[in-house]
Amino acid sequence: MSVSRDGSDVILGLDGGTTSTVCICMPLMPFSAQLPDPLPILARAVAGCSNHNSVGETAARETLEHVMAEVLSKSGSNRSAVRAVCLAVSGVNHPTDQERILNWLRDIFPHHVKLFVQNDAVAALSSGTMGKLHGCVLIAGTGTISYGFTEDGREARAAGAGPVLGDWGSGYGIAAQALTAVVRAHDGRGPQTTLTYSILDNLGLSSPDELIGWTYADPSWARIAALVPVVVSCAESGDQVANQILLDSVKDLAESVKAVVRRLGLCGEDGKDPFPLVMVGGVLAANKRWDIGNEVINCICKDYPGVHPVRPKVEPAVGAALLAWTFIMKELEAGLTSLKHAWACYCKYELLIAGLNLVKYVWTCCYRSELAKVGLNLLKQAWTVAILRDYLGICSGVKMIPTTPSSAEEAEGLASLEAAKWAISLQIS
């Protein structure tokens, strides 16, 4: 759903993988228990790889800057309108990775912008849970990773170490094993396989000897992983070598999920508690007969019958934006909780000045349309406090208007007027 800009604040969500980078821009939605369906998306932009382990830090940064600038341009917005940014990028595996990216983001955006940096698996999880970090996600595209969160904030991951350290089960891993099988069959170390003809035909090569030159001419991970459909097709046609490669990939992918579930205890003490498993990536997409994703679920169910597979309705970039929105809402809720606590303490005489300052903050909150209901509730508390203090004789200059506001606009006007009178009577600047 594409909507027009109205000058309100925006959020950027970015999903940066080994194959491509997607950035979306959406308006800062009002605080609500239920998200709108469909979600309002202002613009979407796509660029190349942004994994610094694959293309280097300079190229990765240029890609990220370009795709964010493009999506802001398409949405008719600019950096000053950005309220929050969530970058979910593959290759972010350590706090030092997060801090490095945060540092250059701070150079790009104004100081008021909230910045969040996560591994791309976190955005993938969020795309299935609509912003809630609970459960497990399995990504199997060019690379693979399993990532999980508990409701109390604990997290764990498995796999995702890249092809050199064994991303088995990933698109790259499957295709690399297929290429190896072709070479082994050609030189007599392995069984003959229809993968030989199918891969050579797909690449336009005439001999397995040419595979060496093709592979090392450009050994990018995505280029190799693009051969996965060929492997699946051969397995569906009955090739035993291709079939075994896929069976091994299913086992590897399932084991990575089960490792995360065990470490976090997502399955409960008896191993039967339900938990969501968000499944993302081309490798897990359904095929005619050889459905890798379905086989992975069947394998996991043998140990953890409570697993609940989730196919996201939105892309990971939207999941990243929802993460940023969730983080902002949590900060707002924490602030309002502190504010309500301050109101309770306000009845104490020694906190008089602090209480008056908080009243001014309430008027500011009420001004924002998305906080109208919250603002009105706090206004009622503010009037009550005013009555109490007048009744107790501590603030004898305070007066109360016995009118219940019928709208946020009326409440704003009455609140502003009485706040000004209150401040003048008590000589508060």
Q: Domains in the chain, start-ordered, CATH in brackets?
A: 10-130+314-334 (3.30.420.40), 171-310 (3.30.420.40)
Judged against a pLDDT cut of 80, whether residue 389 lies above it is answered with no
Average pLDDT taken over every residue of the chain: 79
23 DSSP β-pair partners: 14, 45
Q: How many other C-beta atoms are found inside a 10 Å radius of the C-beta of residue 73?
A: 13
Judged against a pLDDT cut of 60, whether residue 195 lies above it is answered with yes
Judged against a pLDDT cut of 50, whether residue 427 lies above it is answered with no
The pairing of strands 275-280 and 307-310 is: parallel
Task: Give the residue from 103, 57, 105 showing the smallest Cα distance to 84.
Answer: 105
What's residue 347's pLDDT? 42
What's residue 417's pLDDT? 59
What contacts 108, CB < 8 A, 6 or more positions away?
65, 68, 79
Judged against a pLDDT cut of 60, whether residue 376 lies above it is answered with no
- Highest average pLDDT, of 127-136, 234-243, 318-327, 412-421, comes from 234-243
Judged against a pLDDT cut of 70, whether residue 375 lies above it is answered with no
Q: Could you give the strand order of the β-sheet that contains 155-159, starting from the edge strand earlier in sequence?
A: 155-159, 144-149, 135-140, 275-280, 307-310
Residue range 337-355: average pLDDT? 48
Residue range 46-63: average pLDDT? 83
Tell me the pLDDT tens digit for each residue of 126-175.
999 988 889 999 999 888 999 999 988 899 999 988 888 878 899 999 99
Task: Give the residue from 307, 320, 308 showing the smallest Cα distance to 262.
Answer: 307
Output the six-digit token pair for 301: 């169910």
**43: region left, alpha or beta (phi > 0 left; psi from -120 to 50 alpha):** beta
Judged against a pLDDT cut of 70, whether residue 393 lies above it is answered with no
What's residue 410's pLDDT? 58
Judged against a pLDDT cut of 80, whether residue 80 lies above it is answered with yes
Judged by DSSP in three states, 242 sits in: helix
Task: Give the residue from 1, 40, 18, 20 showing the smallest Cα distance to 322.
Answer: 40
- Residue type (1 letter), 283: V
Angle at 319 between CA 258 and CA 63, to 5 degrees: 105
The mean-pLDDT minimum among 182-186, 267-271, 399-403 falls in: 399-403
Assign 334 a pLDDT band (cuts: 50, 70, 90).
Answer: low
What's residue 421's pLDDT? 57
pLDDT-above-70 percentage for the chain: 74
Question: What string of H, E and C letters represents the secondary structure of 355-418?
Answer: HHHHHHHHHHHHHCHHHHHHHHHHHHHHHHHHHHHHHHCCCCCCCCCCCCCCCHHHHHHHHHHH
Assign 404 a pLDDT band (cuts: 50, 70, 90).
Answer: low
What contacts 5, CB < 8 A, 6 or more positions away?
27, 42, 75, 76, 77
Output the six-digit token pair for 87: 């970058």
Tokens 């990933």, residue? 170
- Residue type (1 letter), 357: N
d(CA 416, CA 425): 14
- Highest average pLDDT, of 42-56, 94-108, 122-136, comes from 122-136
The pairing of strands 10-16 and 82-89 is: parallel
Judged by DSSP in three states, 245 sits in: helix
